[in-house]
């Protein structure tokens, strides 16, 4: 009788152990070893930090010309810039003829200002005065655009202009109608809040 009872108890124990093993052996819920895999699969918390990168940094592509200017100054507009360049051209030419150094210093880089100042001083020493009248609005075409490593934009504009120059000197008065073609290079720090472009270089061009 005792042998039969032992066999029955042994069988029941085996059933209970098998059920416990079936339950404990299953992967229920999130396991500790799953944590690294879950972090890898989920987006990194620092992912938004990558958004401000410029397009030059994407895939190692370096932008040039107007694309580089717009990458650093998204508000840049070519049409608005050329309209401002035309106004600046007329203003500078008239200020140079009138010898208005105060106005020129606001519009010119130091190198161009030094050159203009020398020419004005020579004209004054000779006792000459000059006024300029534009016959037509000057034509302005963008010739070149570039950005330096220091985020300085340089835009070169080709101007075609017709104007009438009236001069007075020791020998009397003279009137001269001129047609000019010049390349003017304007410069501005594209990260600066100052929207003004300075004239930093002047070259002659073919008409």
CATH of the domain at 171: 3.10.450.240
pTM exceeds cut of 0.85: no
Q: What is the pLDDT of residue 64?
A: 86
Q: Outline where DSSP puts E strands in the chain.
A: 129-134, 139-147, 152-169, 172-189, 198-204
Q: What is the pLDDT of residue 206?
A: 83
Q: How confident is the model at residue 190 (pLDDT cuts 50, 70, 90)?
A: very high
Are 177 and 135 within 8 A, CB to CB? Answer: yes
Residue 190 is assigned to a structural domain of this protein: yes
- Residue 179's domain spans which residues? 64-204
Whole-number mean pLDDT of the chain?
A: 79
DSSP 17-77: HHHHHHHHTS--S--GGGHHHHHHHSPPTTGGGGTT--GGGGGGPPP-HHHHHHHH-TT--
156-184 b/e with 16+ CB inside 10 Å = b? bbbbebebeeebeeeeeeeeeeeeeebbb
Residue 45 is assigned to a structural domain of this protein: yes
- Assess whether 108 and 170 both reside in one domain: yes
- Assess whether 142 and 106 both reside in one domain: yes
pLDDT tens digits along 68-100: 999 999 999 999 999 999 999 999 999 999 999
- Assess whether 144 and 180 both reside in one domain: yes
Range from 17-21, 45-49, 139-143 carrying the lowest mean pLDDT: 45-49
Residue 107 is assigned to a structural domain of this protein: yes
For 28-50, what is the mean pLDDT?
39
């Amino acid at each position: 009788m005792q042998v039969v009872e032992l066999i029955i108890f042994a069988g029941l124990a085996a059933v209970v152990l098998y059920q416990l093993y079936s339950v404990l052996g299953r992967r229920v819920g999130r396991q500790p070893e799953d944590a690294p895999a879950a972090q890898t699969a989920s987006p990194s918390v620092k992912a938004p930090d990558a958004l401000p990168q410029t397009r030059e940094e994407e895939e190692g592509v370096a932008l040039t010309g107007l694309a580089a200017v717009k990458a650093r100054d998204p508000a840049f507009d070519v049409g608005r810039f050329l309209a401002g360049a035309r106004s600046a051209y007329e203003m500078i030419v008239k200020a140079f003829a009138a010898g208005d150094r105060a106005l020129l210093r606001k519009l010119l880089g130091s190198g161009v200002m030094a050159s203009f100042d020398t020419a004005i001083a020579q004209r004054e020493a000779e006792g000459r005065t000059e006024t300029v009248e534009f016959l037509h609005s000057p034509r302005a075409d963008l010739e070149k655009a570039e950005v330096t490593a220091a985020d300085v934009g340089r835009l070169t504009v080709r101007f075609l202009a017709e104007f009438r120059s009236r001069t007075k000197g020791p020998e009397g008065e003279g009137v001269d109608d001129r047609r000019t073609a010049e390349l003017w290079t304007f410069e501005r720090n594209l990260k600066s809040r100052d929207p003004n472009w300075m004239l930093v270089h002047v070259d002659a061009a073919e008409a």
